[in-house]
Amino acid sequence: MGLFDALFRSSEVLGIAEETLEFAIESSEAAHPDEYMGFLRGTEARELGLEQSGLVITDVLVVPGTESNSVSATVRTSQIPNDVKALGSVHSHPNGVLRPSGADLETFGRGSVHVIIGAPYRRSDWKAFDSQGRPTTLNVIDVELPDNDEFFDFTQADIDEDLS
């Protein structure tokens, strides 16, 4: 790991919010037999009322323009907004194999945690891997997530402004 990476990984990933994991599993099942793919984003644990510093995965960002089929989901990197600080990725394996493929390993260098969800999409049908594709522990944290409107901080005024 280079210095650049070290600087940008100063926040430890404490785990994934239970609600976020369940959302990703449900989305994977809905996408079946196609592959589901998204990026993981986090929230400071203290903002969620936890008495620890670090990040909790609270968001799955599904990238527009993802070409999805049952073999692979290819993200066009030009579609990833610049301001997105992804902690890692999540994608599904409709064949149920909870192991990274060769192609997965090539993309895992970006981000520190990568979740693979497999058919039949039960609560236990997922595994987490590090950037090298080694199995890693990802805690599931039962935490209350902020409401969506608060979270994205949009108001009707913002929307009206965009339309004018």
Chain residues binding Zn ion by CB under 5 A are 101, 104
Would you state the structure tokens that stand for residue 52, as one six-digit string?
């620890």
In sequence order, which residues have a C-beta less than 8 Å from that of residue 133 and are 6 or more positions away?
A: 100, 104, 105, 108, 114
Q: Which residue is nearest to Zn ion (CB)?
A: 104
Q: Minimum distance between the CB of residue 73 and Zn ion, rounded to whole angstroms?
A: 8
Q: Minimum distance between the CB of residue 150 and Zn ion, rounded to whole angstroms?
A: 33
Q: Minimum distance between the CB of residue 60 and Zn ion, rounded to whole angstroms?
A: 16
- In the block, which residue shows the tokens 């008495």? 51
Closest to Zn ion by CB, 20 or 89: 89
- In the block, which residue shows the tokens 């108001």? 155
Q: Minimum distance between the CB of residue 85 and Zn ion, rounded to whole angstroms?
A: 22
Task: Confirm if 53 and 46 have CB atoms less than 8 A apart.
Answer: yes
Closest to Zn ion by CB, 43 or 93: 93
Backbone φ and ψ for 59, nearest 5 degrees, come out as -140, 140
**Residue of 12, 35, 51, 144 marked catalytic:** 35
Q: Specify whether 35 is catalytic.
A: yes
Closest to Zn ion by CB, 19 or 34: 34
Closest to Zn ion by CB, 11 or 72: 72
Amino acid at 159: I
In sequence order, which residues have a C-beta less than 8 Å from that of residue 69 and are 6 or more positions away?
A: 34, 35
The count of residues in the chain is 164
Q: Is 121 exposed, middle or buried (0-12, 13-18, 19+ CB in 10 A)?
A: buried
Task: Indicate which residues carry an active-site annotation.
Answer: 35
